[in-house]
Structures are given as structure tokens and as C-alpha cells.
Amino acid sequence: MKPDTTTAMRGLIAEVRNTMPFSLPAAELCAGPCRGCPKKLLEYLDQELEEWETRLDGGEKPTLGDVSKFARTCHRIYKSLAANQLVEPL
């Protein structure tokens, strides 16, 4: 049985929090040539995660489109971080 959209979004949030290098110091994020600013991308993603957590805690139920759009955003940011050699490529 497939999870409902709230469960799927919470699972996506947990996976992103465990996968993305939010704890890296700025000196490591900004070392070397950049393809997209990893620091700003992680700040943006953290803000989006917090917003969705707040919305879910408030009882809002995301649509399948919301989950899909957020997953695509996370995937694009991950690819950018991989291009900057901050995470392993997929």
C-alpha cells in the first residue's frame, strides 16, 4: 500500500535531512570553483524544509504535485552539490 501524501512528504524531509551536508562549515562549502552557490542552495533548502515541517505540523495536507515538485527541487540541489564534489554523485 502506498503512503498518503503527508507520510510521503515527511519521509522525503527525513531523507533530505539525512542526505544533504547541512553541517558542513562555510569554508568547506565555498572551497574551490563553484557551479551554483552551495551555501545559498543549502540555506534555501533548509528554509523550504522548515516551511514544510511547519505546514505539516499545522495539519496541511500536501498534494501529490507538492511532493513531486519538492522532490525535483531537492534532486536538482543534490546534483548541484555533486557537481561541486560535496556529495557523492547519484
The pLDDT value given to residue 11: 97
pTM surpassing 0.75?
A: yes
**Contacts of 84 by beta carbon, 8 Å cutoff, 6+ apart:** 32, 34, 35, 36, 38
Report, as an integer, the average pLDDT of 47-66.
97
- Report domain extents, the chain: 5-20+34-83
- pLDDT-derived band at 26 (thresholds 50, 70, 90) equals confident
What integer pLDDT is reported at residue 33 of this predicted model? Answer: 72
Mean pLDDT over each residue of the chain, to the nearest integer: 92
How far is residue 9 from each of residues 2, 16, 22, 39, 68, measured CA to CA in Å? 13, 10, 19, 24, 9
